[in-house]
Amino acid sequence: MNIPVEPFKIKMVEPIQLLPREERERWLREAGFNLFKIPAEAVFIDLLTDSGTSAMSDRQWAALMQGDEAYAQSRSFFRFQEVVQSITGLPHVIPAHQGRAAENILFSVLVKPGDVVPNNIHFDTTRANIEYLGATALDCVIDEAYDPYREHPFKGNMDIHKLQQAIRTYGRERIPLVMLTITNNSGGGQPVSMENIRQVSQLCREHRIPFFFDAARFAENSFFIQQREPGYQNKSIADIAREMFSYVDGCTMSAKKDALVNIGGFLALRDDELAQKVKDLLILKEGFPTYGGLAGRDLEAMAAGLQEVVQESYLSHRVAQVAYLGQLLQEKGIPVVKPFGGHAIYVDARALVPHIPQEQFPGQAIVVALYREGGIRAVEIGSLMFARQTEAGNWEFPRMELVRLAIPRRVYTVSHLQFVAQTLGTIQQRAADLKGFRIRSAPPFLRHFTVELEELQ
């Protein structure tokens, strides 16, 4: 197996420590076995999310010092605008403090009650923003996406027939836009092919429906196209990204992912009239259109991060690092979702602890074991997050019970990943001893953030 050697060296360090086992046990009990409630300082390796957790480069830190904090028309905005325009080719660049703010503003302008918005799979915040406006968020991803072991190079693709069906059923009057999430976060960070993007674009154009990217991981998606799609091997990432964006009318972006910053986001748009409406609303909700809820220095850091994220040396390490963890786990016989995604590895909890039924949260059993054994924080993506009780009182369970190991960008080294794999290996050997959980108290919605649990004996 090739070792993914880091294409950077370390100039500044942040100490981390593995607390003694008794202290970890105490934290678990105090937190009601909910890892969202454990202080970050008590975590050794934090794989909760790749969002806002990137390490910035020396160039980005230097750029921060050059932030122009003028309220209007700051120099930093123009620098940021130029970089986004050069990557996307989209003329209107509108900053927002993070991805969901960009979504909220775009949808508030375009979506009305009763509308339907198709996507490959909506990310939580796009779904919630659409439903909040009284519209329906419709997932149209290819069926392969729901089979954890099915090998498909572009498992994030939109099913064109499902999209056609949606347009036939609801009519273009009720579909104010079509979105495509690149890479498809909720489907395991799986990429979308250029061919698929082109087909969706053409269909949208035929029906005069605006087409947008949820572009949080556009650079990782571009890299997968270069690696996997015929005809793109010799194209640069910048050229591939430029072609992808040439097919859309705009995008929303969470800069906390592929802009390598800790906070930020933006909208990029083609249409003048839409851009004006968005800016008018932005002033109300985020701030003047040249800062959009951010400081000038944040815009500088985003601009520098966007230039770095499209570099091949960065991306080939990034994707190889994630795959390396996947391969280490696979070699140990730990069941993981295939192919490996761009930002995370997903463990199939049902296959690892088949003795724990879905109503006892098998994924959470592994999440707890990871912290107990190695101070590692991961997140359950299964029944704890999604199971719902119907009005008749029956439980509806999700199709998959997964544990996500998200890899922050440029933060952990090969040995950190080896430690994670070794810890999961230990857990696997004693998997039959793991216990399920029961809910002690839970809020009415977004339960997983604050739920408290009890370990069954």
Ligand X SMILES: *Cc1c(COP(=O)(O)O)cnc(C)c1O
Point out which residues bind ligand X (CB under 6 A): 51, 98-100, 123, 125-126, 181, 185, 214, 216, 254, 256-257, 265
Q: Given the complex with ligand X, which of 50 and 401 has the nearer CB atom?
A: 50
CA angle 145, 343, 400 (to 5 degrees): 35
CB of 210 to ligand X, least distance (A): 18
Least distance from C-beta 455 to ligand X, angstroms? 31
Residues counted in the chain: 457
DSSP percent split of the chain into helix, strand, coil, nearest 5? 45, 15, 40
Question: For the chain, how long is the longest CA-to-CA vector?
Answer: 63
Residue 46 or 214: the one with the smaller Cβ distance to ligand X is: 214
36 backbone dihedrals φ, ψ, rounded to 5°: -65, -20
- For the bound state, the minimum distance from the C-beta of residue 213 to ligand X, rounded and expressed in Å, comes to 10
Cβ atoms within 10 A of the Cβ of 272, count?
A: 9
Q: Which is nearer to ligand X, 87 or 121 (CB)?
A: 121
Residues facing 380 on adjacent strands: 403
* Closest approach of ligand X to the CB of residue 51, in Å: 5
Cβ proximity to ligand X, 28 vs 385, nearer residue = 385
> Which residue number, 126 or 201, has a Cβ lying nearer to ligand X?
126
Q: Is 273 exposed, middle or buried, given 0-12, 13-18 or 19+ CB atoms closer than 10 A?
A: exposed
State the CB neighbour count (10 A cutoff) for residue 398: 16
Tokens of 234: 């010799």
Query: Min. distance of Cβ 343 from ligand X in angstroms?
Result: 8
Catalytic positions, please? Answer: 71, 123-124, 214, 216, 257, 448
The DSSP symbol for 456 reads -
Report in angstroms how near the CB of residue 5 gets to ligand X at its nearest.
Answer: 27
- In 10 A of CB 100, how many CB atoms? 18
- Reply yes or no: is the peptide bond before residue 450 cis, omega within 30 of 0: no
CB nearer to ligand X: give 245 or 361: 245
CA 223 to chain centre: 16
If you write DSSP's letter for every residue of 334-371 in order, what string do you get?
Answer: --B-SS--SSEEEEEHHHH-TTS-GGG-HHHHHHHHHH
